[in-house]
Amino acid sequence: MARVTSEGAGAGLAGHTASVSAEHWDGRYESIGEQAVGWFESRPVVSLELLAALGVSPSDSVIDVGGGASRLVDHLLAAGHQDLTVLDLSQVAVDAARRRLGEPSAVTWLVEDVLAWAPSRQWDVWHDRMLLHFLVSDEQRAAYLSILRQALAHRGAVVICTFAEDGPEVCSALPVRRYSLEELATFLGPDVEIVESRRIMHTTPGGVEQPHCWIAGRRTAA
């Protein structure tokens, strides 16, 4: 049976927790549904292509940070992955994915604030589509990067997507911090070798075009 755990909110970088409450995201998913949120995609094409470019295989463990109700876990399961973790602040989003997938044993579900989370292990792959840009302060960004480094194995792979520098300034009624490809690379630091980066135009379920920046790399230092 799939595991649903809480590793102790507040046990990680206390004082750096995100300013957004779980209730905000629960309310968002409850009010419009997981297929109407702006970042919804039935097939996560860019994520899958960048994971392939990084040489990620079904033997690799993957954590999808802010994954919520995303379909990425569905496609990784279909590809044969046996060690997947989805972390999200919203219980509603996680429950939607669990109902859809039928509790696969290969998936661990973590309902956590990533900035207050204390990783109990390391993963081969860190995937984050559209979480980082909600962390607008330098303190939050530093906390996120520290936790990423704790959670990612040596030579582990990283895939991150944010709004581009000319993208929306607000998402789901919250301010965001936008990034260029160069800013994302700088944020990850010199210990991540960039393998591929992309600027793409995402079309929301409502038909709105939004520029996104994607970066994929591998850690070069422990």
For the chain, give every domain's residue range.
Answer: 3-219
End-to-end CA distance of the chain: 33
Decide which of 173 and 12 is more confident.
173
User: How far from the centroid of its chain's Cα atoms is residue 75's Cα?
Assistant: 15
Is residue 68 within 8 Å of residue 100, measured between CB atoms? no
**pLDDT score recorded for residue 5:** 46
Burial class (CB in 10 A: 0-12, 13-18, 19+), 152: buried
How large a percentage of the chain has pLDDT more than 70? 82
Q: Which two tokens stand for residue 37?
A: 């949120």
| C-alpha–C-alpha distance, residues 135 and 35, integer Å | 23
**pLDDT score recorded for residue 27:** 63
Q: What is the DSSP letter of 185?
A: H
**pLDDT score recorded for residue 81:** 98
CATH topology of domain 3-219: Rossmann fold (3.40.50)
**Cα-Cα-Cα-Cα dihedral sign, residues 114, 192, 56, 122:** negative
> At 201, which helix (H) or strand (E)?
strand 192-203
Token pair 């581009």: residue: 164
**pLDDT score recorded for residue 14:** 34
**pLDDT score recorded for residue 175:** 87
Query: What is the mean predicted confidence (pLDDT) over 133-162?
Result: 96
Residues 6+ apart with CB under 8 A from 77: 84, 101, 104, 106, 107
Q: What is the pLDDT of residues 7-54, one digit of tens each?
A: 333 333 333 344 467 676 666 655 655 554 555 577 899 999 999 999
Q: What is the DSSP letter of 163?
A: E
Beta bridge partners of 87: 65, 110
Token pair 């998402």: residue: 171
Is the model's pLDDT at 69 over the cut of 90?
Answer: no
Query: What is the mean predicted confidence (pLDDT) over 81-106?
Result: 92
| Cβ neighbours of 207 (radius 10 Å) | 6
| C-alpha–C-alpha distance, residues 197 and 201, integer Å | 14
Is the model's pLDDT at 136 over the cut of 80?
Answer: yes
